[in-house]
Chain A
Amino acid sequence: MWRDPGVSADSFYEIRPECTDVPISRFKIKAGKTLSARKWHAAFTPEGYLDIGKTLSRIYRGCHGELWLAGKHKGVHPSIRGEVWEFLLGCYDPKSTFEERDQIRHRRRMQYATLKEECRQLFPLIGSGRFVTAPVVTEDGHPIQDPLVLKETNSAKGLDVHHQDNNNHSSRIATNSLQKVTDKIVVQWLLTLHQIGLDVVRTDRTLVFYEKQENLSKLWDVLAVYAWVESQFLIISVLEFVKRGNFRCTESSVGVTSQLNVLASVTQVIDPKLHNHLDNLGGGDYLFAFRMLMVLFRREFSFCDSLYLWEMMWALEYDPDLFLMYEMPESASEKAVGSKGKSKSIRQCGKYEREFLKSGSKNASQAPLPISVFLVASVLKDKSSKLLQEARGLDDVVKAKKP
């Protein structure tokens, strides 16, 4: 039978020609396998209800353990990733109409604009097309000398602020005319801004997309606003925690320490020889795997393959009640405690989530382990003989774990 060899998706995520040290992509778009625009649109009823169960299985069907890594080339076509991901990440109830989603989308855009404006009031560079890579306040909230003024006085130091427009002189001077900041939350947020800037310029510089200053500063804006919301959210969580006197909020996610511990136990069971070897090399704490868990293999894979892997994981872990967290955090946590699992159709869940529900372990005191922990274990298992034979140090372990 004739088989489609597939088309590379790298053209959607163009790499700068001078960057040679980039992992090769293995994901390929295959007709009939990769979720296409046509199939995606056909999964909606005329009013907009999505058959999420069918869509999910289209994305992950046939993927078991390390077979993901072999690349079965399912996944989502790059042209529709934006739309599909909105559902995979729980932005909407799959049982909503086109119109309802339009309204939600519109409302959220407005909400984002408000938050961004809030941030801009605190630090005027937000939304300006420029960003910082040097700190703007000290830890006790004293403003650090305006890096933009520094730029004016000494062009050699100009790396600190990245410009899009070079002639808006008046706004430049005003950029860091901060008073001493007393609000601790604001200080904490201001302290993250240059770190976000450093990540923005350093992380994905192999992509053509980020050659544009405009795209870099857009990313900086998004991350800065996100950091602001996160800082607010933490406060609410702490208040909730005190008010209710329980541990609900802290249990919604499994910390990285326990993830590493589980990884150690899993490896010990599935490959005791390998576990001993890693332990002898001084890697018994599995800290070398922290990066894989933290950025979900983003450093081990090409950009294109990372996206493929992520959508696979999201589809497998999909929980149809996810959207409740965004719309009604209160009711979502109530639901988690009370009737979770009863109200939602198991058919709508991803495979991994379904197994988790079936195993009956889902209750308020136990959040599911992220599937990534098992993925790391499977990569280690896969590379076991290579690691046993060749790894003489933890540096070799980090290198060899590239799938």
Chain B
Amino acid sequence: MDVAADDAFDEQCDYLFKAVLIGDSGVGKTNLISRFAKDEFRLDSKPTIGVEFAYRNIKVIDKLIKTQIWDTAGQERFRAITSSYYRGALGAMLVYDITKRATFVNVRKWLRELREFGGDDMVVVLVGNKSDLAQSREVEKEEGKGYAETERLCFMETSALQNQNVEEAFLEMITKIHDIISHKSLETKINGTSLNLPSGKEIHIADEVTATKQPNYCCS
């Protein structure tokens, strides 16, 4: 890791976003994240136990954004404390495998969990992964897209293996989060502090953003 460069980035970083990857076991969450964060892909990745983390810094318009992505276990028994995965998350990528219909059927279940534990404004991108395995396709693109539309989610088909649309899917999520955040802070400025804020959630998010961006690393 280029520590010096990263430190410099941390100093200037305007936002820290937390996003979470969810979906059935074996749909390729870990490979999507390692493609996005490290441009790596492993055919022999192991099941994720609990949660793993990845980061990527991105510039959206004039703002520098650091995204912390939580890669969670797809299997119930390896999941641990589900509610903490969603706590403070501004975005979620809900992944299924286009060659396994059951993983698409389960998207409903994941969405329920997400709506239960996640914030109301969470940006959700539905991702149909493994688009390179077209010959084994069990879920048509139109079907994924249609479902995403009815549930008002963003949608994309990706291939972590062939590096198709991975960057685009993450960028879509991050830009959308950025839009919401900047819209909110604008709204807050116009309306004064706590007017029109149903639960104080917005302020909480803004706080979190400013709190987490402070470079506290240099304590030693």
A134, A202, A256, A392 — most chain B CB neighbours (10 Å): A392
Contact bitstring A360-403, B, C-beta under 8 A = 1, else 0 = 00000000000000000000000000001110111110100000
Residues of B within 8 A of A277 (CB): 216-217, 219-220
B189 interface contact, C-beta 8 A: no
Residues of A within 8 A of B102 (CB): 134-135, 144
Contact of A295 with B49 in the complex, beta carbons under 8 Å: yes
* Complex CA distance for A262 and B22, rounded to whole angstroms: 28
* Complex CA distance for A276 and B219, rounded to whole angstroms: 9
Which residues between 59 and 74 of chain B lie within 8 Å of chain A, taking CB atoms? 68
Contact of A157 with B53 in the complex, beta carbons under 8 Å: no
Contact of A294 with B53 in the complex, beta carbons under 8 Å: no
Contact of B216 with A280 in the complex, beta carbons under 8 Å: yes
Given contacts A195-B25, A195-B75, contact A299 B136 (CB under 8 A): no
Contact of A395 with B220 in the complex, beta carbons under 8 Å: no
> From residue B79, how far is it (CB to closest CB) to chain A in Å?
9
Which residues between 283 and 299 of chain A lie within 8 Å of chain B, taking CB atoms? 285, 287-288, 290-291, 294-295, 299
Interface residues on A, range: 35 or more
The interface on chain B, measured as residues whose beta carbon lies within 8 A of the other chain's beta carbons, has a size of 38
Contact of A392 with B3 in the complex, beta carbons under 8 Å: yes
Contact of B49 with A392 in the complex, beta carbons under 8 Å: no
Contact of A205 with B44 in the complex, beta carbons under 8 Å: yes
> From residue A178, how far is it (CB to closest CB) to chain B in Å?
15
Residues of B within 8 A of A203 (CB): 46-47
Contact bitstring A226-261, B, C-beta under 8 A = 1, else 0 = 000000000000000000000000000000110000
Residues of B within 8 A of A195 (CB): 25, 75, 77
Q: Which residue of B lies closest to A157 (CB)?
A: B136
Q: Which residue of A lies closest to B54 (CB)?
A: A395
Is chain A's binding surface mostly helix, strand, loop or mixed? helix
* Complex CA distance for A157 and B102, rounded to whole angstroms: 14
Q: Which residue of A lies closest to B215 (CB)?
A: A280
* Complex CA distance for A195 and B18, rounded to whole angstroms: 28
Residues of A within 8 A of B150 (CB): none
Which residues between 1 and 52 of chain A lie within 8 Å of chain B, taking CB atoms? 19
> From residue B90, how far is it (CB to closest CB) to chain A in Å?
13
Which residues between 147 and 171 of chain A lie within 8 Å of chain B, taking CB atoms? 154, 156-157
B81 interface contact, C-beta 8 A: yes
A290, A390, A396: which contacts B51 (Cβ < 8 A)? A290
Contact of B46 with A290 in the complex, beta carbons under 8 Å: no
B44, B53, B105, B217: which contacts A395 (Cβ < 8 A)? B53
* Complex CA distance for A194 and B55, rounded to whole angstroms: 31
B100 interface contact, C-beta 8 A: yes
Residues of A within 8 A of B136 (CB): 154, 156-157
B197 interface contact, C-beta 8 A: no
Contact of B219 with A287 in the complex, beta carbons under 8 Å: no
A336 interface contact, C-beta 8 A: no
Please list 19 pairs of residues, one from A and one from B, whose beta carbons are closer than 8 Å in the complex, sorted by A's number.
A133-B26, A134-B100, A157-B136, A192-B77, A195-B77, A198-B26, A198-B47, A203-B47, A276-B216, A276-B219, A277-B216, A287-B80, A288-B51, A294-B49, A299-B49, A392-B1, A395-B52, A395-B54, A396-B1
Given contacts A156-B135, A199-B75, 6 further A-B contacts (CB under 8 A): A133-B26, A285-B84, A287-B84, A290-B51, A295-B49, A390-B3
Q: What 3 A-B pairs come out closest when comparing CB atoms?
A: A290-B50, A394-B53, A280-B216
Residues in B lying within 8 Å of A, measured CB to CB: 1, 3, 6-7, 10, 18, 25-26, 44-47, 49-55, 68, 75, 77-78, 80-81, 84, 99-100, 102, 105, 109, 135-136, 212, 216-217, 219-220
